[in-house]
A = this chain, B = another copy of it.
Amino acid sequence: MADWGEFGFIEALRRRLPPASGALRIGVGDDASWWRPESGNGILTTTDMLVAGIHFDLSYTSAADLGYKSLAVNLSDLAAMGGRPACAYLSLALPAQLQKVWLDEYIAAFLQLAEAHNVQLAGGDTVAASELVISITLNGLVSEGNPVLRSGAEIGDDIYVSGSIGDSFLGLQLLQERIAGSVLDSSKIAFLQARHLRPSPRVGLGCQLAASGRVSAMLDISDGMVADLGHLLAASGGLGAELDRAKIPLSQAALKLVTAGHLDCRDLLTGGEDYELLFTANPDARAEIAEIAISAEVAVTRIGRITDEKTILMLVNGVTEELSGRRGYDHFHD
């Protein structure tokens, strides 16, 4: 299977599948599927599988953190389509040595986040296994109008991101003790670690952006900002982008680490697991998007624009760099 990476398998499968048809409007390939079987706006569905030791490390991820995050990443996928989450299905493969208290804490945190987003746990399965595997499926509704796909960006559109970029990557480096946090006070360390362990799915923002009808393309950042921008550009027909590094939103904690020379700012843009929304819109929608950001109480920053150059360029201290080929961006030309 070495030659069938995660991406390769999905791509191979997509090529084999007939195109989505009938009531299934969007199948494999976006953040969620869109199924419109009856009257109404239809059902969005996303699914995700997590394996211990690959997607999470139990040495620094508590049961409660995992219960939260395993649902949060699915909420983020629905948010990226503008979906309002509704019903979750949780299947767990549980190793025999797992303690009941671990499972209790996992479920409690899962249900707490579910309740905060009006999600009901509607089904699931538990099985014995030699390693911990978590599989979650989430059904939601298209809040209003059509969902926002990753394929609608147009030349000249503005590019936006929510929140701040790179915190999750830094939090992970701190948890893994790969970088020293000595320049940070303990609250900033806790902030970065929480951004990795407890990302905030931008559900309200995603729903309001979709409902506005002004967003041309959207996805959530899981593979890294540059890689996911590449996916959006590829899905939109092979477009390009120009970014301004000075505009990319960094948290105070991230800025402090970059300023102290602990790492290159560009690592933050490829780190992944931000679970922020990356989206595009026509420049005439700027005022409306600013209003939505205020209403959703999430920072939204314009970081660049869509071009027809088939590459991602970034303006850094007055010099334009080409980002294509950086880690996480390999699939852009697939």
Smallest Cβ-Cβ distance to A52: which chain B residue = B129
Contact check, B47 vs A89: say whether CB atoms are below 8 A apart: yes
Q: A309 within 8 Å of B by Cβ?
A: no
Separation of A51 and B129 alpha carbons in the complex (Å): 7
Q: A145 within 8 Å of B by Cβ?
A: no
Q: A235 within 8 Å of B by Cβ?
A: no
Q: A126 within 8 Å of B by Cβ?
A: yes
Contact check, B93 vs A51: say whether CB atoms are below 8 A apart: yes
- Determine the chain B residues whose CB is within 8 A of the CB of A131 once the complex forms: 129-131
- Determine the chain B residues whose CB is within 8 A of the CB of A139 once the complex forms: 35, 43, 45, 139
Distance to closest chain B CB from A43 (angstroms)? 6
Contact check, A27 vs B121: say whether CB atoms are below 8 A apart: yes
Contact check, A127 vs B35: say whether CB atoms are below 8 A apart: no
- Determine the chain B residues whose CB is within 8 A of the CB of A128 once the complex forms: 1, 6, 51, 54
Contact check, A127 vs B6: say whether CB atoms are below 8 A apart: yes
- Determine the chain B residues whose CB is within 8 A of the CB of A28 once the complex forms: 121-124
Q: A282 within 8 Å of B by Cβ?
A: no
Distance to closest chain B CB from A143 (angstroms)? 11
- Determine the chain B residues whose CB is within 8 A of the CB of A48 once the complex forms: 91, 125
Q: A120 within 8 Å of B by Cβ?
A: yes
- Determine the chain B residues whose CB is within 8 A of the CB of A49 once the complex forms: 91-93, 125-127, 133, 135
Contact check, B86 vs A16: say whether CB atoms are below 8 A apart: no
Q: A40 within 8 Å of B by Cβ?
A: yes
Q: A3 within 8 Å of B by Cβ?
A: yes
- Determine the chain B residues whose CB is within 8 A of the CB of A3 once the complex forms: 100
- Determine the chain B residues whose CB is within 8 A of the CB of A46 once the complex forms: 123
Smallest Cβ-Cβ distance to A94: which chain B residue = B1
Smallest Cβ-Cβ distance to A133: which chain B residue = B133
Distance to closest chain B CB from A290 (angstroms)? 31
Q: A37 within 8 Å of B by Cβ?
A: yes
Separation of A16 and B33 alpha carbons in the complex (Å): 30
Choose one: B33, B41, B54, B98; the contact of A87 (CB below 8 Å).
B33
Q: A2 within 8 Å of B by Cβ?
A: yes
Q: A116 within 8 Å of B by Cβ?
A: no
Within 8 A of B (CB), among A107-141: 107, 111, 120-131, 133, 135, 137, 139, 141
Contact check, A86 vs B1: say whether CB atoms are below 8 A apart: no
Separation of A10 and B124 alpha carbons in the complex (Å): 8
For A1-32 the 0/1 string (1 means CB < 8 A from B) is: 11110100110010011101111100110001
